[in-house]
A = this chain, B = another copy of it.
Amino acid sequence: MPLDLSLNLATVRMQWKLPQAVEAAARHGFVGVAPWREMVEETGIAESARIFKANGVRVTGYCRGGLFGAGGRKNLGAAIDDNKRMIDEAAAIAAEGIVIIAGGLAPGSRDLSDTRAMFVEGLAAVLPHARACGIPLALEPMHPMYAADRGCVTTLREMLDIADLLGNDGLGIAIDTYHVWWDPELAVQIARAGKRIIAHHICDWLVPTRHMLTDRGMMGDGVIDFPAIRRMVEAAGYHGVQEVEIFSDYWWGRPGDEVLSTAAERFKSVCQ
């Protein structure tokens, strides 16, 4: 019985390269994987595509594009070109979408507004190519603690405003519990997102959190109410696969098979 669960390969990136990670995901019953671009490049695009197919896994997301303003306005054109190439790659590996984050401030910048504006401009510039290739862009708001250096768009409200502004066609929303669980508007903005939700990532918030990037938690080890968020997402109309994505020095230090069996077990015992 396959799990309605996909594995973001970053979860086991210290243990395995792409071929081993995909084989393990399939063996543990995951229906899909979400690879990162550097892993696909390391293995090769054609070979990666072959591996996904040979293991019978879906490619539920390709990580990660966007970040249009992170290099400043002088590099916006290059960021747009790079995102277009990523769309081609996503098509070549039959990914169901690309996860898009807004990106942080350019070095030396303190202008969040302009960084957000560049994100919208970059999205507008790549959207025709994404539509032509049939690759949806899954816009992921990130936790506000990443506003400076990873994702200047931090709330579902703002990301949905951007999707509305760009007409929604070809765009979707990625809900990652780790990034949005704290939001006082979570229920209302998930309801507003509705059918635009095309990705639902799961990861827990630990108390205390010892590192801003690499101390994320296995579901059940932190304070996030997964069933509550799941109910919101299902009420909005999304009944697709969830994807476990955990950046964790602790779990990167455990055997990969233990990580996957734990994630599969917790998905069943904690997240329903």
Contact = CB atoms under 8 A, between A and B. Distances in A.
> How many copies of this kind of chain does the complex include?
2
Contacts of A184: 116, 153-155, 157-158
B205 A148 contact: yes
B212 A182 contact: no
A163 interface: no
Nearest to A204: B110
A143 interface: yes
Contact of A223 (B110, B116, B207, B225): B110
A148 B209 CA distance: 10
Contact of A144 (B110, B112, B144, B223): B144
Given A149-B208, A207-B149, A208-B149, A182 B144 contact: yes
A258 interface: no
A123 B105 CA distance: 38
Contacts of A158: 184
Contacts of A182: 112, 144, 147-148, 152, 154
Contacts of A224: 110
A157 B188 CA distance: 14
B212 A209 contact: yes
Nearest to A205: B148
Contacts of A46: none
22 contacts: A104-B207, A105-B207, A110-B223, A110-B224, A112-B181, A112-B225, A144-B154, A144-B182, A144-B183, A145-B209, A145-B212, A147-B181, A147-B182, A148-B207, A148-B223, A149-B207, A152-B182, A153-B184, A155-B184, A158-B184, A209-B212, A212-B212
Interface of A: 104-105, 109-112, 116, 143-145, 147-149, 152-155, 157-158, 181-184, 205, 207-209, 212, 222-225
The 9 closest A-B pairs by CB, nearest first: A147-B182, A110-B225, A144-B182, A158-B184, A145-B145, A144-B144, A148-B207, A148-B223, A110-B223
